[in-house]
């Protein structure tokens, strides 16, 4: 006789999340032309972590980060592992909905929901939360209520001034001291330097991938890029590097054989706005299923993580820490900053260097800062003569019809324009 058991809430949550995950993975595997074989390793990674709840860093000290501004370089320098906890699961979003205001951002709700359930494959030992957007800043306190140690890290909301530079440099020093105390290790020059180089190398691979996206025949889809960059949130860095190198090798081969993921008339899209985080690739998938190709993005789950590398003039601890702080503050184009002309200039520059035909701007309903910046970005794009589509979305699996109509219409109009231009 088979033994019957009632599914626990945790098991139920895992089952729902696995369903979401496998759905995204399978769509990726099956619905796009000319899949990249080397991408299978990444799909497998997501399946292991999100469908099988496999732990990747069992013995390591895991440092949770709530935003991009907590420097991975410093965490790696202590032989700990950074785990970025920004979450893309609708299942967790629903749990979080009971804990946060109705109109809060789904990303924050999902992150809080994840903590509320306590259901981690790699549970962070403690969590650093930079004071970026209002919702993340306040989420820290809620998360603490579930018995986690959340350490707030000062982050200025204005980046033009020299005061903010000094402020964040100081903040990063304090973060380093705090981390050192918690882990019980001292930071050495050699370790930090190696960590800077390790991340720098990973970033250099990202830039190499991007070179293939600049070309006329695009050999890698935007969604695959999101899979790759998103894996950097939680993957073992050496394993990530290896997988990415294999993708690069294949792209080289594909270029020779002229295997592309998009047709010649497929509009080239720059994606910007609220970050697509696995498995919420709803909008990017819609775009590429509608016969466009995402050639570049301006989001904190991808481009912003890799674009800027730490540049050091004097390789001593203080020189490196200051450079690291500057990288995470000065180069950042997050909409939480007061003025944000840098973001607009970045988008325009991406459109130019990647010969894009248009921009798609997604804001999560409730992601106030992206919603607020929509107006200025749209205005600037109009001025620059760049077609742009603004979409509001959330994590719910419904809503597809309305969104796809708009995306398809936008892409069709870009196509028409492209055909006319020959």
* Binding of other proteins by 339 (CB under 8 A): no
How many residues in the shown chain lie near other proteins by CB under 8 A?
41
Binds other proteins by CB under 8 A, chosen from 92, 288, 326, 371: 326
Minimum CB distance to other proteins smaller for 326 or for 357: 326
Q: How far apart are CA 12 and CA 318, in angstroms?
A: 48
Helix (H) or strand (E) holding 225: helix 222-231
* Binding of other proteins by 73 (CB under 8 A): no
* Binding of other proteins by 412 (CB under 8 A): no
* Binding of other proteins by 148 (CB under 8 A): no
Minimum CB distance to other proteins smaller for 50 or for 212: 212
* Binding of other proteins by 376 (CB under 8 A): no
**CA 21 from centroid of its chain's CA atoms:** 16
* Strand-pair partners of 296: 270
* Binding of other proteins by 246 (CB under 8 A): no
Binding mask 291-320 for other proteins (x = CB under 8 A): ----------------xxxxxxxxxx-xx-
3-state secondary structure of 84: strand
Q: How far apart are CA 210 and CA 114, in angstroms?
A: 32
**Candidates 103-111, 202-210, 218-226, 392-400 — which segment interacts with other proteins by CB under 8 A?**
202-210
CB 163 within 8 Å of CB 330: no
Q: How far is the CB of 194 from other proteins (least distance, A)?
A: 5
Minimum CB distance to other proteins smaller for 35 or for 319: 319
* Binding of other proteins by 252 (CB under 8 A): no
Q: How far apart are CA 58 and CA 46, in angstroms?
A: 17
Q: Is the dihedral of CA 410, 414, 420, 422 positive or negative?
A: negative
Q: How far is the CB of 246 from other proteins (least distance, A)?
A: 13
Minimum CB distance to other proteins smaller for 262 or for 356: 356
**Candidates 44-52, 67-75, 191-199, 372-380 — which segment interacts with other proteins by CB under 8 A?**
191-199
Q: How far apart are CA 49 and CA 83, in angstroms?
A: 13
* Binding of other proteins by 237 (CB under 8 A): no
Q: How far apart are CA 75 and CA 192, in angstroms?
A: 9
Length of the chain: 422
Distances (CA, A) of 339 to 109, 376, 412: 26, 10, 33
Beta strands per DSSP E along 180-317: 268-273, 293-298
| Eight-class DSSP state of 335 | T
**CA 177 from centroid of its chain's CA atoms:** 27
3-state secondary structure of 390: strand
**Candidates 45-53, 58-66, 122-130, 326-334 — which segment interacts with other proteins by CB under 8 A?**
326-334
Beta strands per DSSP E along 172-233: none
Q: How far is the CB of 199 from other proteins (least distance, A)?
A: 9
Binding mask 207-236 for other proteins (x = CB under 8 A): x-----------------------------
CB 148 within 8 Å of CB 129: no
Minimum CB distance to other proteins smaller for 98 or for 349: 349
Minimum CB distance to other proteins smaller for 333 or for 362: 333
| Eight-class DSSP state of 39 | G
**Sites of contact with other proteins (CB under 8 A):** 160, 162, 165-166, 189-190, 193-194, 197-198, 200-201, 203-204, 207, 241, 307-316, 318-319, 322-323, 326-327, 330-331, 333, 342, 345-346, 348-349, 353
């Amino acid at each position: 006789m088979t033994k019957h058991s009632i599914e626990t809430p945790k098991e139920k949550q895992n089952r729902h999340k696995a369903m979401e995950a496998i759905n995204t993975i399978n769509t990726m595997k099956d619905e796009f032309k000319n899949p990249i074989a080397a991408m299978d390793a990444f799909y497998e990674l997501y399946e292991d972590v999100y469908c099988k709840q496999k732990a990747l860093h069992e013995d390591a000290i895991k440092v949770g980060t709530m935003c991009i501004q907590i420097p991975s370089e410093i965490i790696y320098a202590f032989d700990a592992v950074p785990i970025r906890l920004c979450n893309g699961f609708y299942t967790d979003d629903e749990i979080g909905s009971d804990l946060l205001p109705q109109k809060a951002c789904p990303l924050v709700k999902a992150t809080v929901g994840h903590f509320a359930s306590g259901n981690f494959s790699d549970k962070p030992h403690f969590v650093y939360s930079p004071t970026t957007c209002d919702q993340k800043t306040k989420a820290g306190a809620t998360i603490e209520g579930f018995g986690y140690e959340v350490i707030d890290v000062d982050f200025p909301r204005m980046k033009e001034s020299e005061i903010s530079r000094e402020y964040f440099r100081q903040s990063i020093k304090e973060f380093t001291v705090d981390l050192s105390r918690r882990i019980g290790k001292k930071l050495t020059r050699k370790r930090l330097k190696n960590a800077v180089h390790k991340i720098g190398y990973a970033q250099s691979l990202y830039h190499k991938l991007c070179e293939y996206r600049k070309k006329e025949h695009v050999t890698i889809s935007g969604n695959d890029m999101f899979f790759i960059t998103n894996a950097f949130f939680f993957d073992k860095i050496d394993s990530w590097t290896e997988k990415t190198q294999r993708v690069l090798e294949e792209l080289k081969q594909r270029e020779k054989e002229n295997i592309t993921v998009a047709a010649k008339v497929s509009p080239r899209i720059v994606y910007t706005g609220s970050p697509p985080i696995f498995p919420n690739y709803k909008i990017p998938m819609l775009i590429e299923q509608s016969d466009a190709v995402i050639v570049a993005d301006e989001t904190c789950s991808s481009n912003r993580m890799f674009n800027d590398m730490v540049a050091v003039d004097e390789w001593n601890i203080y020189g490196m820490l200051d450079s690291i702080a500057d990288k995470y503050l000065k180069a950042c184009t997050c909409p939480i900053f007061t003025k944000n002309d840098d973001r607009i200039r970045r988008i325009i520059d991406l459109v130019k260097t990647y010969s894009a035909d248009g921009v798609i701007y997604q804001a999560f309903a409730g992601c106030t800062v992206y919603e607020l910046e929509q107006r200025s970005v749209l205005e600037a794009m109009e001025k620059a003569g760049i077609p742009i589509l603004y979409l509001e979305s959330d994590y719910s699996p419904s809503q597809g019809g309305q969104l796809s109509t708009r995306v398809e219409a936008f892409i069709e109009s870009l196509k028409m324009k492209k055909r006319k231009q020959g």
